[in-house]
Amino acid sequence: MLGKDVANSIEVVPVNEERLFSALTRFDLSKFNNLTVYYFLNCLSKIHLKTERNEIKLKVIDFLRRVQSGKVKMTNIARVKAVEIRLMLELDEEKRKEVFDEVPQSSLPEIFAQ
Amino acid sequence: MRIVSKRANTAHVTHWHINMQLKAMKDIHSKIEKTGLTKLIEKFRECKTAAEEREFINRERAHIRNEINYSTTKEKAEAIIKLIWMNMLGYETEFSQIECMNALFSDNFELKSMGYLGLTLFLSEESEVLMMATNRIRIDLKDSANDFSQALALRTFSEIADSAMVHELAKFVKDLLQTGSKYVKKKVIMSLIRVLNKDPSFADELLDLYPPLLSEKNQGLLLCVLQLGQKLLKLRPGLSKSVASRLEPLYATMKMLCSRYESNYSVNGVNDPFLQCAIIEFLKDVALLEESTIPDFSTQVLLVYNTVQNSGTNTARCLLYQVARSIMQVTSTAALKKIAIAILGSFLDLKNKNFLFVSLNMLLFASTRYREEISKHDKIILKCAREKDFSIKKLAIQILRNISNAENSAEILSILAGQLSQETSKLRVTELLGIAVSVLEKHSNSVIVAVDRYFLILGVLRIGTGDHLLENLFDLVQNSKGVQMVFAVKCLLLMSVATAREKETLLKICFWGIGEFYGLLIRVVGVRKGCCELD
């Protein structure tokens, strides 16, 4: 695919953020290695920071929450990274405390052992 | 009835006589053919297991050890050759060193030659017994009445002499250079090469003696003289001046070898290729040190080239390779270099992998300076880049990198992408990736073309091999604001392609591109409806 073709296909049509987000979150992250998941989570955090729509921000946070709770299959290292990113995105101190309370204590040694 | 029985008796006697004669002939034959060593080898081969072999050798070794002191000279020589054979098989034969030393003192030539042969095989420079041999070698070197003893001593000296022996005997060896016997002279020169290897300062003593040696006509002797000359030129480059004025005999020899005259050492229709190669090599070394000899060197290599260029034999090709190699090393004219490249280019058509390898190796050496000439063979080099043999493939790709330009870089990169997709060894992938990156960075006329080429290369890689290149690509895009939007859209489109979803390296780029330029994606432009079918 050449850059020229891509350039020709561009029109002033807004990107559908919902569709992009749902496409991103549909990847089976358990198949990827940690570095790829790291890129993926960073992508989500950038979307959170750059989007102007609150519902997209909430969707990102919700997705990270699902990662943290184990509903989205991922390695433990990636889960720690997800928590980290969520902490960064929710800088409010109260929220941060809440996030810490949500991390299952029993799994912490297992997480950090890796 | 009587007549019948008489006839039968006669037939029986005749048959008996024939049998006896055959038996006698067999005995004579076995006596002539089978030496002690042959019998030993036959018996050794009859052993069925390794244990049996060991037992047999131990028995034979003990037998030789007990009997050798009471044997005749012929039996002693036979015993030494048996011990040499056992040693070659890897069995310990420590006592044989002393037996060899004793054999050196014998007047019998057969035993003496066995002793010297054993000495070269059993002893190394580190051996302490070597000191004992020095005196005997000195005596034999001085024995001017016997050429063969001198030759034996010289051959042994050239094989095993250590620094101490060289210090003791080098002067005697040098004195023998005046001998009239070509046979001994050849051995002297071989010994002098050993002397120079052990004691480079001895070169000063040979500076005056060497130039006249170039007039030698004997084939074997001249080969040795040329080898000694190369060694001397390396140690004392100043010798090149006196050598340069004495090259006429070599030119005459070369002219004779290139004429229709057929020498005794003709191989596949080429007159003495070994001597021709040695002369070219020597002339090249002189030309490297003495620029005034370059025109003569050029004449000689052209003479060889014209003589053998149409001969399709491997011998002729070897000679042509030597010509091309020498031309490449000497600062000769561009026309001569073109001839060398044409020779090497002609080898690329051959199926023989050895020729392919050596010519590619030489073309790689020349590819940085003679890009245009080598570019004429780019189609064949491209073919070589698809070879299964990795060493040939790598050389061809390295040449392609050196001769690549804006026009052929796309084709070279597509070949590299093909090779990268097939390669399983991580080391080879790293090598090929390095070449690919250097080509795309050198010959991409715009950033977007470079980005496309990065996608092409990274898209074919297996997991975990191209991560270090991501940083290069990200830096390139970060520093070029004009392509960031196109890059982001490209990432968006690529993510929707099913094959790209399976390539983690491509996905990493897509995630980075979408995240990094998300602001551009949502604010400035979008993608035409239908182009971004993400679901």
Average of per-residue pLDDT across B312-326 = 89
Which of A53-57, A82-86, B160-164, B271-275 bottoms out in mean pLDDT, i.e. has the lowest? A82-86
**Residue positions counted in chain B:** 535
| φ/ψ of residue B404, rounded to 5 | -65, 150
When pLDDT is cut at 50, 70 and 90, the band that residue B70 belongs to is: confident
**Is residue A38 pLDDT above 50, yes or no?**
yes
Q: Which of B518, B523, B531 to substitute to test the interface with A, most A CBs within 10 Å?
A: B518
When pLDDT is cut at 50, 70 and 90, the band that residue B186 belongs to is: very high
Q: Give the type of residue at B223.
A: L
Can you say whether residue B90 is alpha, beta or left, with left for phi > 0 and alpha for psi between -120 and 50 degrees?
A: left
CA torsion angle B333 B337 B342 B348 (round to 10): 180
> How far apart are the C-alpha atoms of B253 and B239, rounded to whole Å?
22
- Chain A contacts in chain B segment 467-486 (CB below 8 A): 467, 483, 485-486
What is the maximum span of chain A, computed from C-alpha positions, in angstroms? 54
Contacts (Cβ under 8 Å, ≥6 apart) of A77: A34, A111, A114
Q: Which of A39, A55, A60 to substitute to test the interface with B, most B CBs within 10 Å?
A: A39
**If you measure CA to CA, which chain B residue comes closest to A13?**
B526
Strand, helix or coil at B411? helix
Task: Give B522's contacts in chain A (Cβ within 8 Å).
Answer: 14-15, 17, 50-52
> How far apart are the C-alpha atoms of B101 and B112, rounded to whole Å?
9
E-assigned strand segments in B371-447: none
> How far apart are the C-alpha atoms of B533 and B52, rounded to whole Å?
78
**pLDDT for B128-153, tens place per residue?**
778 888 888 999 888 878 888 899 99
> How far apart are the C-alpha atoms of A64 and A83, rounded to whole Å?
7
Average of per-residue pLDDT across B353-360 = 87
Placement of tokens 């949500």 in the chain: A102
Please give the pLDDT value at position B202: 92
The residue among B205, B201, B197 whose CA lies nearest residue B172 is B205
B225 or A26, which is more confident: B225
> How far apart are the C-alpha atoms of B122 and B160, rounded to whole Å?
10
Average of per-residue pLDDT across B428-447 = 82
**Is residue B531 pLDDT above 80, yes or no?**
no
When pLDDT is cut at 50, 70 and 90, the band that residue B34 belongs to is: low
CB-count exposure of residue B5 (10 Å: 0-12, 13-18, 19+): exposed
Task: Give A47's contacts in chain B (Cβ within 8 Å).
Answer: 514-515, 518
Interface of A to B at Cβ within 8 Å reads 1-4, 6-7, 9-17, 19-20, 22-24, 26-27, 32-33, 35-36, 39-40, 42-47, 50-52
The residue among A52, A26, A81 whose CA lies nearest residue B495 is A26
Q: Which of B465, B474, B497, B522 to substitute to test the interface with A, most A CBs within 10 Å?
A: B522
> How far apart are the C-alpha atoms of B334 and B299, rounded to whole Å?
14
CB B132: neighbour CB atoms within 10 A?
A: 14
**If you measure CA to CA, which chain A residue comes closest to B498?**
A27
DSSP B14: H
> How far apart are the C-alpha atoms of B403 and B370, rounded to whole Å?
9
CA of residue B253 relative to chain centroid, distance:
27
Q: Check if B490 contacts A (Cβ < 8 Å).
A: yes
DSSP states of A24-70: HTTS-GGGS-HHHHHHHHHHHHHHHHH---HHHHHHHHHHHHHHHHT
Please give the pLDDT value at position B532: 42
> How far apart are the C-alpha atoms of B191 and B188, rounded to whole Å?
5
CB B35: neighbour CB atoms within 10 A?
A: 13
Q: Check if B382 contacts A (Cβ < 8 Å).
A: no
The residue among B152, B65, B151, B74 whose CA lies nearest residue B117 is B152
Task: Chain A: give the shortest CA distance to residue B445, in Å.
Answer: 13
Please give the pLDDT value at position B57: 92
**pLDDT for A61-112, tens place per residue?**
888 888 877 777 777 777 777 777 777 777 665 665 666 566 555 554 454 4
B68 or B21, which is more confident: B68
**pLDDT for B449-475, tens place per residue?**
888 888 888 888 766 667 778 888 888
**Is residue A8 pLDDT above 80, yes or no?**
no
Contacts (Cβ under 8 Å, ≥6 apart) of B174: B192, B205, B206, B209
DSSP states of B126-176: T-TTHHHHHHHHHHHHH-TT-HHHHHHHHHHHHHH--HHHHHHHHHHHHHG
Task: Chain B: give the shortest CA distance to residue A58, in Å.
Answer: 17
When pLDDT is cut at 50, 70 and 90, the band that residue B33 belongs to is: low
> How far apart are the C-alpha atoms of B270 and B282, rounded to whole Å?
19
> How far apart are the C-alpha atoms of B293 and B248, rounded to whole Å?
11
- Interchain contact, A39 vs B455, CB within 8 Å: no
What is the overall mean pLDDT for chain B?
Answer: 83
Q: Give the type of residue at B71.
A: S
> How far apart are the C-alpha atoms of B482 and B54, rounded to whole Å?
80
Q: Check if B493 contacts A (Cβ < 8 Å).
A: yes
- Residues B343, B323 contacting (CB under 8 angstroms): yes
CA torsion angle B254 B257 B260 B261 (round to 10): 120
Please give the pLDDT value at position B226: 95
**Is residue B197 pLDDT above 90, yes or no?**
yes
When pLDDT is cut at 50, 70 and 90, the band that residue B530 belongs to is: very low
Please give the pLDDT value at position B184: 92
Q: Check if B520 contacts A (Cβ < 8 Å).
A: no
- Residues B531, A14 contacting (CB under 8 angstroms): no
CA of residue B295 relative to chain centroid, distance:
29
> How far apart are the C-alpha atoms of B163 and B171, rounded to whole Å?
13
Q: Which of A2, A18, A20, A88 to substitute to test the interface with B, most B CBs within 10 Å?
A: A20
Q: Give the type of residue at B125.
A: E
**pLDDT for B371-425, tens place per residue?**
777 888 877 888 888 788 888 888 888 888 888 877 778 888 888 888 788 777 7
CB B275: neighbour CB atoms within 10 A?
A: 19
DSSP A11: E
Provide the whole-model pTM.
0.64
**If you measure CA to CA, which chain B residue comes closest to A9?**
B528
The residue among B265, B275, B282 whose CA lies nearest residue B228 is B282
Most confident option among B64-68, B157-161, B256-260: B157-161
Q: State the ipTM, two decimals.
A: 0.75
Token pair in block for residue A100: 């810490």
| φ/ψ of residue B527, rounded to 5 | -115, 140
CB A100: neighbour CB atoms within 10 A?
A: 11
**Is residue B52 pLDDT above 80, yes or no?**
yes
The residue among B489, B523, B453 whose CA lies nearest residue A9 is B489
B260 or B221, which is more confident: B221
Task: Chain A: give the shortest CA distance to residue B521, in Å.
Answer: 7
Q: Sign of torsion, CA B389 B390 B394 B395?
A: negative
> How far apart are the C-alpha atoms of B395 and B400, rounded to whole Å?
9
Please give the pLDDT value at position B526: 47
**Is residue B324 pLDDT above 70, yes or no?**
yes
What is the overall mean pLDDT for chain A?
Answer: 71
Q: Give the type of residue at B161.
A: A
Please give the pLDDT value at position B353: 86
**If you measure CA to CA, which chain B residue comes closest to A40?**
B511
**Is residue B245 pLDDT above 80, yes or no?**
yes
What is the gyration radius of the CA atoms in chain B, in angstroms?
Answer: 36
CB B37: neighbour CB atoms within 10 A?
A: 14
> How far apart are the C-alpha atoms of B170 and B157, rounded to whole Å?
10
Average of per-residue pLDDT across B156-163 = 90
**If you measure CA to CA, which chain B residue comes closest to A53?**
B522
Please give the pLDDT value at position B9: 56
- Residues A10, B525 contacting (CB under 8 angstroms): yes
Strands B526-527 and A10-11: antiparallel
When pLDDT is cut at 50, 70 and 90, the band that residue B534 belongs to is: very low
Kindly state the helix (H) or strand (E) to which residue B253 belongs, with its residue range. Answer: helix B248-257
